[in-house]
Chains A and B, each alone.
Chain A
Amino acid sequence: MLRFRKREIGLGPFLLWTGFWLVAGVLVLRPSATQWVAHQLGVGRGADATFYLGITALFYLFLRMQLKIRDLEHQTTELVRKLALEGARKAERP
């Protein structure tokens, strides 16, 4: 909340994380609520459903992070190349 007020994060991430912690709070107070989710997904126990959803979410986050890192690597490379070319041009100038 503080980070959102300080405009360190946008509305999207703020809503996402608020939703996440609200759901986590509900599940801590009423663990049986996971049984309903498990039933919807065709899984036997609520704990199993939480586990499967957690693994899926982690894989998704891992993929997103991989793509982001690759993107940052490309950006760094282009920056380094640009600096090298500009440095050489400056050195060539009398």
Chain B
Amino acid sequence: MRLSVVVPVYNERRTVEALLRRVLAAPGEKEVIVVDDGSTDGTTDLLRGLAGELPIRLHVHPANRGKGAAIRTALAEVRGEVVIIQDADLEYDPEEYPKLVAPIERGETNVVYGSRYLGGTNDLPFTHYKLGVQVLTWAANLLYGLRLTDEATCYKVFRADLLRSLPLRCERFEFCPEVTARVARRGERILEVPIAYHYRTRAQGKKIGWRDGLEALVTLLRCRLTR
């Protein structure tokens, strides 16, 4: 099955090139769709240069609209049968793609999440971020009858036609809760596989904050109460 790797990028000049080379070196046939979400630190120029050198397809948002908007832009251009979301930092390891895609290839499920809490290497200390992830996972399980261990993981893998058929409206980091909610309401089974995670701090470029956590909770509730 052909894999479409969707890479939303915002101000990741320090890591994006290394990340893209690792993605392209990872096993399996794939296309890489990069969406620069209005970066202001020179990432856009770097990506334009890389697009001439590497087999990637680049889309550039003329203004910053958020991760969810960037993913939706990429989704319009996906040609593969399976889609994986890949952040442009180095927190997750592209070498794990085969493990994540395998359950879909075997026909066991249409949705796979890579869980950071199922035994893989995880150097995330107990911070407000970890607490937020646990609260969100707990809320998603409670509201949608799921049994997830990591709702907020970046590594979410979907059958492309399923992802395209979801009525997504997200703009920022509420992509994760919205897609989880929509998939759960469709009655799809979300299968989790253990993945490794290499945490980076806000000083190193992490952008998600407590406001995004609150917005995620509101999104989970909104999707539960509305169509």
Indicate whether A80 sits within 8 Å of B61 (C-beta atoms), given known contacts A73-B171, A74-B169.
Answer: yes
The answer to whether A80 and B58 touch (CB under 8 A), given A85-B73, A85-B77, is: no
CB of A88 within 8 A of CB of B77, answer yes
Query: B63 on the interface (CB 8 Å rule)?
Result: yes
The one of B57, B62, B76, B171 in contact with A74, judged by C-beta atoms closer than 8 angstroms, is: B171
- The minimal Cβ–Cβ distance linking B75 to chain A, given in whole angstroms, is 10
What is the count of residue pairs linking A and B with beta-carbon distances less than 8 angstroms?
Answer: 40
Closest to B68 in A: A77
Select the residue from A83, A84, A85 with max chain B CB neighbours within 10 A: A84
Q: Which of A56-94 contact B (CB under 8 A)?
A: 73-74, 76-77, 80-81, 83-85, 87-88
The A contact surface, by secondary structure, is helix
Question: Cα distance A86–B65 when bound, in Å?
Answer: 17
Interface string of B51-63 (1 = CB under 8 A from A): 0000001111111
With a CB–CB cut-off of 8 A, which chain B residues contact A77? 65-66, 69, 171
- Which of A73, A74, A88 has its CB near the most chain B CB atoms (within 10 A)? A88
Distance in Å from the Cβ of B49 to the closest Cβ of chain A?
Answer: 14
A88 to B48, CA, bound (A): 11
B76 adjacent to A76 (CB under 8 Å): no
Residues of chain A within 8 A (CB-CB) of B57 are 88
Chain B residues with Cβ below 8 Å from A81 are 61, 65, 69, 72-73, 76
Determine whether the beta carbon of A85 is less than 8 Å from that of B76. Answer: yes
**B112 interface hit (Cβ, 8 Å):** no
Considering the complex, which residues of chain A in the window 10-68 have a beta carbon less than 8 Å from any beta carbon of chain B? none
Q: CB < 8 Å: which of A73, A74, A76, A88 contacts B59?
A: A88
A-B interface, 4 closest residue pairs, ranked by CB to CB distance from nearest: A84-B59, A77-B65, A81-B73, A88-B59
A residues at B contact (CB < 8 Å): 73-74, 76-77, 80-81, 83-85, 87-88
Query: Could you list 15 further interchain pairs (A-B, Cβ under 8 angstroms) beyond the known A80-B38, A81-B73, A88-B57?
Result: A73-B171, A74-B169, A76-B63, A77-B65, A80-B69, A81-B72, A83-B61, A84-B35, A84-B59, A84-B60, A84-B73, A85-B73, A85-B76, A87-B59, A87-B60
Q: List 21 A-B contacts (CB under 8 A).
A: A73-B171, A74-B169, A76-B63, A76-B65, A77-B69, A77-B171, A80-B38, A80-B62, A80-B69, A81-B65, A81-B69, A81-B72, A83-B61, A84-B73, A85-B73, A85-B76, A85-B77, A88-B57, A88-B58, A88-B59, A88-B60
